[in-house]
Amino acid sequence: MVASGDYTDLILGGTSYYNNPDQIIEDGVAIDVAPYIDELMPNLKAVLASNEEWRLAAYTDSGAIAECYKFEIGTDQNVGPVIRQDFLDAVGMDVPLTYDDYHEVLTAFKNELDVEAPLLLPYTGLTNYYSIGYGVPCDLKNGGLFYTVDGEVKYAGMEQEYYDVVSLMADWYAEGLIDHEFLSRTTTTDPDSGLIASDDAGVWTANVLMFDQYLNSTTNPDFQLTGTAYPVQSEDTPIMYENSAKATGVGYVVTTACYDVETCLRWIDYWYSEDGTFLANYGIEGLTWEYDEAGEPHLTELILASEIGLPSSLTSSIYCINSGPYIEDCTRNQYFFGEGQRAAMELWDHSDKEFCSEAYPESAGLTVEESEEYAAIMGDIETYMEETISRILVGNDPVDTLSTMADTLRSMGIEDAIALKQAAYDRYVSKGA
């Protein structure tokens, strides 16, 4: 649609096609909503004034609003590491906490239970869930290796902590503790149910939505899955890396083809109001929700026990809103899950923790010129990193290769890429300052 120039009034997630959301306005696709805030969108104005993170994400570098985003309150950390509780029971061990604990558990799974792939990794290799304890990201695909420490942008491939994680995982692979076929897998999370059903995996990363599917795929009556903690270096060492920098969800851009801008903006603004937020999250009183004895809204059986057999999370998308501009109350999602799923989500949530490093914010966008320079640098670097880390993990290259990685990256221009990301980050945090 964007390429054709034949726009609808609203486009869901329109800025996702651009490295910098200002560009969608400069290209004449979307209007700048910011000039209309005071007169037409009092609810959005109040929402942005109430939350600095949301305000930074909503405004572009030029001070425009290119997309009216969805914002989230409450906990919705629904992806994390899981472990076969029945395997733990069989070897008489507790849920692991430290890297040493994980090593002992995975070793027991391999030696005592003959588990073929004690730890599953995605085809991309390492995931941030297993590097959090070292204070660095390590997922080359999902978010990349850029992160921040006290406002300074860093690239994990230049840091000793990253080398320590890679070295550790290479050792585990050599010991047979990691799936030897991970490079041929096709998913980054939620591995194939058949692999789980065959009792060939002990620990992996999963979405809580998959818990029931895994249970239904197995014939093992003892099958039991539980969430497990992100590994840390010692019981006294805190989680060091905040793995989520996402302040917003997909919203709407109002296009330059919009026939009635005022009506569209007032309609969007309603969903940021208290009434609109409640309607979006819970639907209609008496039909999809009712107050419980404590005076709290509670979803009805129409959502939780669909007569046509739909899962409650899907039924809610029929009667409620799951995308677009509104404030999502993530605590609502607890009704969709069982006790084990809710326990896992609570275990994975670290919203109340303080960290020594944080993920690079998604909303810190590069300019068009910066994007071109960045792409010219990072194309080769990303290829180098993917190939080199994969070879090290599976033992085709020695771990000592890591000792020259920083020099190699410098020669490829990583310091210039870091400077570009730093400039974008500085603009991001200084908006409206």
- Indicate the domain borders of the chain: 10-74+249-283+320-345, 78-243+364-433
Report the chain's mean pLDDT, rounded to a whole number: 87
Q: In the predicted model, is pLDDT for residue 31 greater than 90?
A: yes
| Burial class for 171, CB neighbours closer than 10 Å (0-12, 13-18, 19+) | middle
CATH 3.40.190.10 for domain 78-243+364-433, yes or no, is yes
Q: Is pLDDT above 60 for 209?
A: yes
Does 3.30.450.40 match the CATH number of domain 10-74+249-283+320-345?
Answer: no
Residues in contact with 331: Cβ distance below 8 Å, sequence separation at least 6, in sequence order: 73, 74, 75
Give the residue among 201, 140, 131 at the shortest CA–CA distance from 166.
Answer: 131
Rounded to whole angstroms, the Cα distance separating 385 from 405 reads 9
For the cut 90, the answer to whether the pLDDT of residue 421 exceeds it is yes
The span from the CA of 242 to the CA of 219, in Å, is: 38
> What is the structure's pLDDT at 245?
45
Distance of CA 365 to the CA centre of its chain: 18
pTM reported for the whole predicted model: 0.84
Return all residues near 201 (Cβ < 8 A) that are at least 6 apart.
84, 115, 116, 117, 118, 120, 179, 191, 195
60: tokens are 């572009």
Q: Are 334 and 79 in contact (CB under 8 A)?
A: no
User: How much of the chain exceeds pLDDT 90, in percent?
Assistant: 50
pLDDT in tens, 335-356: 777 788 888 888 787 655 556 6
Tell me, what's the pLDDT at 75?
A: 64
288-347 pLDDT, tens per residue? Answer: 888 888 888 888 888 877 666 666 767 777 888 878 899 988 777 777 777 888 888 887
Of 10-19, 32-41, 83-92, 403-412, the range with the lowest mean pLDDT is: 10-19
Q: Among 225, 92, 104, which residue's Cα sits nearest to residue 175? A: 104
Enter the DSSP assignment of 20.
S
| pLDDT tens sequence across 136-195 | 989 887 778 999 998 999 999 999 999 999 999 999 999 999 999 888 876 656 676 777
Quote helix, strand, coil % in the chain, to nearest 5: 45, 15, 40
How confident is the model at residue 158, as a pLDDT?
97
Q: Whole-angstrom Cα distance, residue 402 to residue 157?
A: 9
Q: Which amino acid is at 402?
A: L
Of residues 127, 130, 88, the one with CA closest to residue 230: 130
Residue 355 token pair = 């960290």
* Length, in residues, of the chain: 433
Are 206 and 189 spatial neighbours (Cβ–Cβ below 8 Å)? yes
Do the Cβ atoms of 241 and 147 come closer than 8 Å? yes
**Torsion angle in degrees (nearest 10) through CA of 52, 57, 60, 64:** -70
Yes or no: say if 29 and 22 are a contact pair by the CB < 8 Å rule.
Answer: no
C-alpha Rg value of the chain to the nearest Å = 23
Residue 122: burial class (beta carbons within 10 Å; 0-12, 13-18, 19+): buried
Indicate the Cα dihedral angle 127, 128, 129, 130, nearest 10°.
70
160 closest CA partner among 409, 405, 428, 343: 405
